[in-house]
Amino acid sequence: MKQLLPIVLVGLFGGSVVAAASDDAPEPSIFVTGNIPDLSEFVWEKRPIIVFADSPNDPNFGQQMDFLEDRAGELADRDVIVLTDTDPSVDSDLRLKFRPRGFMLVLVGKDGTVKLRKPFPWDVREITRSIDKMPIRQREIRERRGSGS
């Protein structure tokens, strides 16, 4: 049976990292709960992906979360952290900054700038290809190859 990672709502719970369930060694989770007051805490450390929807029942939100959960390891390898916000009635800092209308996916680079916005779900393959083209990611790949030899 497939184990699902929790889907979390930004702004409804205290800030904490949700642990991923696995059969063997636990993987570090890329899914974060809680209201993130400022994305600056992730600058040069993580690549935030923010998934917005007007409800956790939005089919686009569900599909996007399935995509992300199914290939969370590939995203973790690229220092991705996933933040979700499915409550438009709460003016979270993320909603005020990005102004989503309905479903929206936002990828923020390690430098803190928005790299892409999508009004529909995106497959992890497409997301990782976009990340792998970024100059900072290219440097990370070169450095890993150099240290691995």
Tokens of 141: 């790949």
CA–CA distance, 135 with 35 (Å, rounded to integer): 29
Q: What CA–CA distances, in Å, run from 129 to 36, 74, 78, 126, 138?
A: 26, 11, 11, 5, 11
Q: Where are the domains of the chain?
A: 16-148
Classified as helix, coil or strand, 53 is coil
pLDDT in tens, the chain (149 residues): 334 333 333 333 334 344 444 445 555 689 986 677 689 999 999 999 999 999 999 999 999 999 999 999 999 999 999 999 999 998 888 999 999 999 999 999 999 999 999 999 999 999 999 999 999 999 999 999 987 65
Contact at 8 Å (CB) between 53 and 103? yes
Nearest-10 Cα torsion for 17, 46, 64, 22: -50
**CA–CA separation, 53 and 91 (whole Å):** 13
User: Is 104:118 a contact under the CB 8 Å cutoff?
Assistant: yes
Instruction: Indicate the fold that domain 16-148 takes in CATH.
Output: Glutaredoxin (3.40.30)
